[in-house]
Amino acid sequence: MDLQKFASQMGVRVHEVHGLDRWGRYHHPTRRITLRAGMGAVQWRSTLAHELGHAHYGHDGDCPKLERQADAYAVWLLISPQAWEEATRVHCSPVAVANELGVLPRLVEAAADFYSHHRIRSLAP
């Protein structure tokens, strides 16, 4: 998925700056994502997907609950159920799964929560 194009379709502007004190930041009043310049491809992609989660939910600020929501959205954007099943069937290590899927390990942890929650809900009567 072309995350830049997806952001544009959401009405969110994305730009990179040097010296940002974190990997990414979303500012809801201006619908603007700022990413730290110079990140590697996996870090950039995972961070942008996470910040798009903040944009989707309209977050303006951060706390553990909002960070989990943004990570879940990033999982939805970047990790299909089929890719998740295949990667976790082949690999035992979260780092190996992350490498297979092209995401940061923290999104593997979020995906484990996301897919176990959705699997439980789909099995409920």
How far apart are the C-alpha atoms of 125 and 123, rounded to whole Å?
A: 6
What is the pLDDT, as a whole number, of residue 52?
98
Confidence of residue 121 (pLDDT cuts 50, 70, 90): very low
User: 28-51: per-residue pLDDT in tens?
Assistant: 999 999 999 999 999 999 999 999
> What CA–CA distances, in Å, run from 10 to 37, 55, 57, 116?
22, 8, 12, 28
What is the pLDDT, as a whole number, of residue 124?
39
How far apart are the C-alpha atoms of 8 and 14, rounded to whole Å?
A: 8
Burial class (CB in 10 A: 0-12, 13-18, 19+), 57: middle
What is the pLDDT, as a whole number, of residue 119?
52
**Angle (deg, nearest 10), helices 64-78 and 41-57:** 120
What is the pLDDT, as a whole number, of residue 116?
81
How far apart are the C-alpha atoms of 58 and 86, rounded to whole Å?
A: 32
Compute how many other C-beta atoms are within 10 angstroms of the C-beta atom of residue 112.
Answer: 15
Tokens linked to 97: 């799964």
DSSP code per residue over 38-62:
T--HHHHHHHHHHHHHHHHHT--S-
User: 73-113: per-residue pLDDT in tens?
Assistant: 999 999 999 999 999 999 999 999 999 999 999 999 999 98
